[in-house]
Copies of this chain bind each other. A is one copy, B any other.
Amino acid sequence: MRSEVDVFREFLAHKEMRFTPEREAILAEVFAEHDHFDVEELIMRLRQKGQRISRASVYRTLALLVASGLVQEVFYEDGHMHYEHIYGHDHHCHLRCLGCRSIVEFRDPAVEEAEKRIGRGHDFATTGHRLDIYGYCRQCREKKE
């Protein structure tokens, strides 16, 4: 499998855009760990590594990463968008604890199958889906008692 760097390079080349140091650093940081981050967190992490990239460039690059399919918007919460890298991971959905806000990823064939079936039933050519399941994790349930 090609690296995310190669994918992004190619995506940019195709649009006659440059693979700049800023874009490279942001890409690297986004793929440095697998989690669900927001712009503020991303900027902080870059800072801690000595990278001083402007907010505007972070937003601009994130938009490019989403357009390229390497990254996706996961959810809008606390008044702003959250992202995760998805290249190299197979499609998954999220269980979200309403207590501690923790997130558990899961993969489920029945859900994948449901997408196709429901699409067929309504004459939609489906391209994907997003499923969030809400609830309370064990810890939060025990805490409440």
Contact = CB atoms under 8 A, between A and B. Distances in A.
Interface of A: 76, 95, 97-98, 104, 106, 108, 110-111, 113-115, 117-119, 121-138, 141
Contacts of A126: 95, 133-135
Copies in the complex: 2
A126 B106 CA distance: 14
Given A76-B76, A131-B129, A124 B97 contact: yes
Contacts of A121: 106
Given A124-B137, A125-B136, A131-B132, 13 more contacts: A95-B119, A95-B126, A104-B124, A106-B122, A108-B118, A110-B110, A111-B111, A111-B114, A115-B133, A119-B135, A123-B137, A124-B138, A129-B132
20 contacts: A95-B122, A98-B127, A104-B122, A104-B124, A106-B122, A108-B114, A110-B113, A111-B111, A111-B131, A119-B135, A124-B133, A124-B138, A125-B135, A126-B133, A127-B135, A128-B135, A129-B132, A129-B133, A130-B131, A131-B132
Of all A-B residue pairs in the complex, the 6 with the closest CB atoms, nearest first, are A126-B135, A76-B76, A124-B135, A129-B133, A131-B131, A123-B138
A86 to B, nearest CB: 14
